[in-house]
Amino acid sequence: MPGDFLTVILPAVTAAFVASVVEVVEAFTIVLAVGTTRGWRPAIAGTLAALAVLALVVLALGPALRFIPIHLLQFVVGVLLVLFGMGWLRKAILRAAGVLALHDEDAAFAQETHELESQTGAPATLRWIAGIAAFKAVLLEGLEVAFIVVAIGAGKGLLWEASLGALAACVLVLAVGAALHKPLARVPENALKFGVGVMLSAFGVFWTGEGMGVEWPGGDLILLALALLFLLAGLLFTQLARLSHERVTA
């Protein structure tokens, strides 16, 4: 087992896997609406086309980033990961505190189905529009996963490991979704988003620091301490935000 398995590889692959679960659950809701409303051909064609585009992005961008000097790359990727991770953490905290509404897969499914059913035109045109809807949903949700995979891959040379983590989540969610044949509304999306936000923020701060020449005590091991710090801070901010919001709305 590599020396940095527990401190870097496992958290990186887990972050890619969990982020992929969150995004694929959301994309699956739209694909399911397309499939049940306009048939499975446009749904599957749109999904496969979007997955192909995402795979191309990862395959083209991932190896190309190796030509950038490592400190510059770690700094840029670190800053982007901090912004992205803290964005997810912010939203997850606000949702957990009741300030923002939780994402509702059943409502999203109902809305997408309603939109598809309200469209008029020739059957071939409607199938084409439905295929585009599935393509767009998978592409847009998958962009965030592709970014995480490329960023983690670039920061520590874990492109294949992160890709496999994301792909495993994709296969798992699609298999469960195909078996249940309904939106995966019971997946604890916000808790997963919270966890990914914590991990990506920790990775982001770590790599930004590395890029700036920070000497982290304990080397890679500090990643676990940073993640714990963001986790505890996130839980504390959730409680404080809930109290503050309750006072305002009382």
Contacting positions for other proteins (CB under 8 A): 79-80, 82-84, 86-91, 93-94, 97-101, 132, 135-136, 139-140, 143-144, 147, 201, 205, 208-209, 212-217, 222, 226, 229-230, 233-234, 237, 240-242, 244-245, 248-249
Q: Which of 119, 133, 122 is nearest to 33 (CA)?
A: 133
User: In the bound complex, what is the minimum distance in angstroms from residue 238's beta carbon to other proteins?
Assistant: 8
Closer by beta carbon to other proteins, 28 or else 88: 88
User: In the bound complex, what is the minimum distance in angstroms from residue 219's beta carbon to other proteins?
Assistant: 12
Closer by beta carbon to other proteins, 23 or else 161: 23
Closer by beta carbon to other proteins, 101 or else 179: 101
Number of separate helices (H) and strands (E) present in the chain: 8, 0
In whole angstroms, what is the distance from residue 177 CA to residue 20 CA? 14
Closer by beta carbon to other proteins, 83 or else 171: 83
Closer by beta carbon to other proteins, 28 or else 147: 147
Q: 217: which 2 tokens?
A: 């005590």
User: In the bound complex, what is the minimum distance in angstroms from residue 36's beta carbon to other proteins?
Assistant: 23
User: In the bound complex, what is the minimum distance in angstroms from residue 249's beta carbon to other proteins?
Assistant: 6
User: In the bound complex, what is the minimum distance in angstroms from residue 149's beta carbon to other proteins?
Assistant: 13
Cβ count within 10 A of residue 248: 8
Cβ count within 10 A of residue 10: 14
Q: Do residues 208 and 82 make contact, with C-beta atoms less than 8 angstroms apart?
A: yes
Give the HSE-up count for residue 178: Cα atoms under 13 Å, Cβ half-sphere: 9
How many Å is the Cα radius of gyration of the chain? 20
Closer by beta carbon to other proteins, 118 or else 249: 249
Q: 14: which 2 tokens?
A: 């887990």
According to DSSP, residue 97 is labeled T
Q: Do residues 43 and 34 make contact, with C-beta atoms less than 8 angstroms apart?
A: yes
Q: Which of 224, 235, 247 is nearest to 7 (CA)?
A: 224
User: In the bound complex, what is the minimum distance in angstroms from residue 154's beta carbon to other proteins?
Assistant: 16
User: In the bound complex, what is the minimum distance in angstroms from residue 87's beta carbon to other proteins?
Assistant: 3
Cβ within 8 Å of residue 199, ≥6 positions away? 11, 14, 15, 18, 85, 227
Closer by beta carbon to other proteins, 103 or else 182: 103
